Structure 1
């Protein structure tokens, strides 16, 4: 298991992306809408966060945030219940380049938002003046609450942070900060916590690698099924070049995400590339037999990918660890 964790550390990094901006929302209290606090049961009613700005005011920022998270979701694997996202080395440069581009767009959008903030605020307050009288008996109280929710300074509300770190497990916790007066069992408890955390992470790593293998196989099957559906529903006599290009891009993406060296699934994809992607969409549309071959090939690949996704991946995980062990010896 130590080898497996070491190999995983060599094959990629963990990454977290955080995008922050003022959401234009306010958490209302019962008093804000003319209700007594003791008259509202928090077991049954939650006022929650309500928009004080129309959502289109922050739409550009929200779009960039969505693209950043989509980029991470597409190029990484969730690691240990959301502790981070594992980014394979082969996807590192492209992903970080795209994140830098998105960060640039984010700061431009932030400056644009701040430049129009006063106008957004006044427009929103005008709209709230109209709506408040329809919503509550004491509109002045609600209007005052909304007005006070607009921050004076906005800069601290914004941030775009991408943090990368290596996987490691705690071998022991330092006792340097423990005074002599502290009981011996405190020291023992700290060491026990370190050992327990180490054992859990090492134990979960095998499951993580297996889940990554299964995920890529399932994505292969899903793509083939979506392509078959697209071909059946297509408006251009069944086969569109965008559909074929999607498979080409996926094969390249698979190779870069395949850090666990799933040779069987990669070989299946390479066979499909040779057999099905040498024709253009126009050539497929001109030949019924070629279209049948395309459908049959995609259907067969989907079935094989589903079969592999349901198979036990432990042998592949073990081979992954052994491959890394051999690499370390060769490097030495």
Structure 2
């Protein structure tokens, strides 16, 4: 599998990530929750059994919260489908040649998310008033947890950070122990890269083989190959070409056979 790493690396020098950049997506929104206390339930602290763990009070309807969660999941799913896991948690590695298209799609999702946030802020007073009318008997326990609208504006955000993937570089004339530490860090990064390549190639092959097996089964059974099946072949071919920076000739061959089927 180290040959794969060198294929992506061109001449085999560097850390192997030269054809990729790292991207981290951050989506946040006001959860609208406050910790539930015994007094909220008309209880004293010592009246709550130790086996119970009190949850949260919801400050606005769940369906609104789900809308923000759905947009966040939609953005992360798109990014995950067009990138690879990176050696750092919550960071993805993406081929440089695909970055512009991925960012364009993220911009669209960002606009949708921020528009939804603006709608929420515009309706914030009405949402709070509706909650007050619905829960008049416990409103005194909810009211203190509603922040001013200006504060809420800072609780909604959708952004990403893109950065080059490079190993640590030691300054000339550094102490031997520092040089050794930097060398270990570079070796660790190279090892992680090779592991990532192995996992990525397996992932790419699995995706292509699933589509190939589906088409093959239909042809073997003499079933009609519908347009949506052919479209899935075209989609996976384009998807593979976008992500295959590792020179996987075996899958390229399989895709050629699919096109001729």
Kindly state the Cα deviation for residue 264 of structure 1 after the two structures are TM-superposed: 1.0
2:18 and 2:165 in contact (8 A); partners too: no
Q: Is the aligned partner of 1:30 residue 2:26? A: no
Do residues 17 (structure 1) and 18 (structure 2) align? no
Q: Secondary structure at the match of 2:246?
A: coil
CA distance in 2, matches of 1:5, 1:30: 62
Equivalence map 1:1-332=2 (5 Å): 6=14, 8-38=16-46, 40=48, 44-80=51-87, 82=89, 84-129=91-136, 140=138, 143-152=139-148, 153-172=151-170, 194-224=182-212, 239-275=225-261
Which moved further from structure 2: 204-213 or 240-249?
240-249
Q: Quick one: distance in 1 between partners of 2:46 and 2:179?
A: 48
- Secondary structure, in 3 states, of the residue corresponding to 1:9? coil
Give deviations 1:93-121, integer Å, cap 9, x for gaps.
21111111111122211111111111111
Aligned to 1:296: none
- Indicate the SS of the match to 1:8: coil
TM-align CA RMSD:
3.2
Say which SS state the counterpart of residue 160 (structure 1) adopts.
Answer: strand
Gaps of 5+ in 2: none
* Structure ID, larger Rg: 1
- The C-alpha deviation readout for 1:54-102, integer Å capped at 9, x for no partner, is 1222343333212211111110111115251011123212111111111
Contact 1:173 1:190 in 2 (8 A): no
CA gap 1:208/1:13 in 2 versus in 1, 3 angstroms: same
1:147 and 1:174 map into 2 onto residues whose CA distance is 61
Contact kept? 1:58, 1:113, Cα under 8 Å: no
CA distance in 2, matches of 1:61, 1:146: 22
Distance across 2 between alignment mates of 1:99 and 1:69: 9
The 8 Å contact of residues 5 and 202 in structure 1, kept in 2 or not, is answered as no
TM-score by length of 1: 0.65
Counterpart-to-counterpart distance in 2, 1:33 and 1:228:
61
Judge conservation of contact 1:88–1:257 (CA < 8 Å) in 2: yes
Paired residue total: 248
Which protein has greater RCO, CA pairs closer than 8 Å, 6+ apart? 2
Q: Distance in 2 between matches of 1:242 and 1:119?
A: 45
Does the residue aligned with 1:198 lie in a helix, a strand or coil?
Answer: helix
Question: What displacement does 1:202 show?
Answer: 2.1
What residue is the counterpart of 1:135 in the other structure? Answer: none
Mapped to 2, the partners of 1:22 and 1:81 lie a distance apart of 26
Structure with the largest fraction of helix: 1
How far apart are the structure 2 equivalents of 1:248 and 1:90? 20
